Structure 1
């Protein structure tokens, strides 16, 4: 993914090539974009914490989810420090040294605990708004944004009735063609040329096998938020 400031317009690498045009009797049915299971807020720092944004996600709800995940990370670090300081067998000097070490550890763990805000398509604008909310509170949070793309699979759905109509139209045009007396190619009318194109399309539709699926690249934005 490419790193970009939150204050600038997002830029993406164009990956989708010109796709084969589907016949009128076929349509694309989009599948939900798969993503890993959402991690528990109480999982360790080694488990990435992600908040997925959709176009229907309430703005402040997303903000609070990010804050909760960051708070849990800080709480885990503090618990670790308190447990180490609770050892009564150590001397006061050892406890003071351990306290200083514990505070360093707390700062390090809390600072490294990142929460990722991710969105694709039309939901990216809302994700950016959530990211800017944290960016505006720069005394408390640090943010960074990356852009990229993810390969998704869509289903190609065929309308049997539509295909039947296309085939019947092709057969009708073919029959009309056979009934006409072939004239000079130079005198062929524009209407006949149009009919010839329709026959070719109909013939192709009759013999061509539709793919069951089609792939495409979808733009994705990822915003990392952590305590300062």
Structure 2
């Protein structure tokens, strides 16, 4: 007869130690001055980041994304043409050498016209702008030539607590507070 071992269970209820500490209330007569949310540089040269707000016009964002995707496609096809020009410039190469060069190039690129080098456009929004990012992602998901990936995250925004009389000083004696904001990033890429 098999005996059952007590199994370890992981509690899903957060403990007091794992909860983030609440910020203390601001003093009377003080105001909060919000700084711009910090931006990150793109991880690759081929990706372009577009930050949007809740008031950014939908058509403006879709036009900027499509324009950047077209630009990325032109740059990728130009690099493919550069390979063709290098291959054609070697006039003394035999047919066998040219065929091998084309096979090496197509094996490294998986054939096609080089859309894997076309890059991506990342649309980012925080807070109330998340709804706008979802709308843009849905628009491009319906397009036949686009692939859309969504990624959630959090961003730390820094605010200054300014007491009356210290408003002339930006970041002088005031207290800094960091708050966490939800963010959504939609990565749009050509198929």
Alpha-carbon spacing, 1:105–1:131, altered in 2? closer, same or farther (3 Å): same
- Paired position in structure 2 for 1:156: 161
- Paired position in structure 2 for 1:35: 39
Distance in 1 between residues matched to 2:147 and 2:112, nearest whole Å = 19
> Which deviates more from structure 2 when the two are superposed, residues 55-64 or residues 147-156?
55-64
Asked if 2 retains the 8 angstrom alpha-carbon contact of 1:145 and 1:223, the reply is yes
Among 110, 123, 126, the residue aligned to 1:120: 126
Cα-to-partner distance string for 1:115-160 (whole Å, 9 max, x where unaligned): 11101111111111111100112x2111111111111110101125
Superposition deviation, residue 107 in structure 1: 3.5
Superposed CA RMSD: 2.9
- Paired position in structure 1 for 2:116: 108
Kindly report which structure 2 residues correspond to 1:60-139, keeping only aligned pairs within 5 A, or say none.
Answer: 60-86=59-85, 87-88=88-89, 89=91, 90=93, 94=98, 98=102, 101=106, 103-104=111-112, 106-110=114-118, 113-137=119-143, 139=144
User: Normalising by structure 2, what TM-score?
Assistant: 0.70
Distance in 2 between residues matched to 1:56 and 1:105, nearest whole Å = 37
Corresponding pairs, count = 158
Runs of 4+ that moved beyond 4 A: 90-93
Alpha-carbon spacing, 1:64–1:91, altered in 2? closer, same or farther (3 Å): farther
- Paired position in structure 1 for 2:180: 217
Gaps of 5+ in 1: 1-14, 40-44, 161-209
Cα-to-partner distance string for 1:190-217 (whole Å, 9 max, x where unaligned): xxxxxxxxxxxxxxxxxxxx95211111
Distance in 2 between residues matched to 1:91 and 1:50, nearest whole Å = 45
- Paired position in structure 2 for 1:22: 26
Asked if 2 retains the 8 angstrom alpha-carbon contact of 1:16 and 1:216, the reply is no
Asked if 1 retains the 8 angstrom alpha-carbon contact of 2:150 and 2:184, the reply is yes
Cα-to-partner distance string for 1:79-101 (whole Å, 9 max, x where unaligned): 11112222242556626962872
Q: From the CA coordinates, give the structure whose radius of gyration is larger.
A: 1
- Paired position in structure 2 for 1:206: none
User: Normalising by structure 1, what TM-score?
Assistant: 0.60
Query: Which has a greater percent of helix?
Result: 1
Report the secondary structure of 2:114's partner residue: helix
- Paired position in structure 2 for 1:227: 190
Cα-to-partner distance string for 1:2-40 (whole Å, 9 max, x where unaligned): xxxxxxxxxxxxx76422112321121111112146x7x
Gaps of 5+ in 2: 1-18, 166-172
